[in-house]
Structure formats: C-alpha cells, structure tokens
C-alpha cells in the first residue's frame, strides 16, 4: 500500500531549502538537460521513420525550416527543442501523438 504524501509538509520543506540556499547554507541540486541541436534533427527524424513533410507538420514548422535544421543552416529554438527531446527520448509517445493528430485532421 502506498504511503500517503503530506504535500503541505513537502512545500514547506522546499521553502525552507530555498531560504537556506539564499543564506548560503545549502547547495541546491541542479539538473542540466542537453536539448537537441540542428545536428540531431535528421537522426531523430530517421529513427522515427517519418518523411521531412510529416515531421515538419508535427513539429509545426515549414519543410524549408526543417531542411535548414537538418543541413545545419539554422538551429531549432524554444519549444521545438523540447519537442525534439521528447521525439528522441520517448519516440513511442511522439509517434502515438502524431498518429492521433493525423487522424483528427
């Protein structure tokens, strides 16, 4: 049986950790995430088995933009990099969402 969480206590603990950090008494754990770059785009698309046209539609960009990424002339920015990370790390979820959206269109 799962132990019931005390969310109020967890929030207070987090606030106290921030206060300790502000005073210089505590170091906070930092997690760095390496987001995909233009160099990764073609490989991600290839692993998904999608055409440039299909991948561009799902990414919400033009085919020209996708080609610029794949050829290293431009770098994906903002939310596109996060979506590329999902496509890279959880391709099944990405494809499931893609097929769902394609049927809905």
Per CATH, the homologous superfamily of domain 38-104 is lambda repressor-like DNA-binding domains (1.10.260.40)
Domain ranges of the chain: 38-104
Instruction: State whether residue 10 is helix, strand or coil.
Output: helix
So what's the pLDDT on residue 100? 52
So what's the pLDDT on residue 71? 97
So what's the pLDDT on residue 97? 86
Tell me the pLDDT of the chain (105 aa) as tens digits. Answer: 678 889 999 999 999 999 999 999 988 888 888 999 999 999 999 999 999 999 999 999 999 999 999 999 999 999 999 999 999 999 999 988 877 544 444
Cα–Cα distances in Å, from 99 out to 23, 45, 63, 88, 102? 50, 15, 19, 17, 5
So what's the pLDDT on residue 28? 81
- Cα atoms in the Cβ-side hemisphere of radius 13 Å centred on 76: 25
Phi, psi of 5 (to 5 degrees): -85, 145
So what's the pLDDT on residue 102? 45
So what's the pLDDT on residue 22? 93
């Amino acid at each position: 049986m799962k132990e019931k969480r005390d969310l109020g206590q967890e929030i207070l603990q987090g606030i106290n950790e921030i206060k300790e950090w502000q005073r210089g008494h505590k170091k906070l754990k930092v997690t760095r995430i390496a987001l995909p770059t233009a160099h990764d785009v073609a490989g991600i698309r290839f692993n998904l088995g999608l055409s440039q046209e299909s991948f561009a539609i799902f990414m919400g960009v033009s085919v020209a933009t996708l080609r610029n990424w794949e050829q290293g002339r431009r770098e994906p920015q903002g939310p596109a990099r996060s979506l590329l990370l999902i496509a890279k790390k959880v391709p099944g979820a990405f494809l499931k969402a893609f097929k769902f959206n394609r049927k809905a269109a």
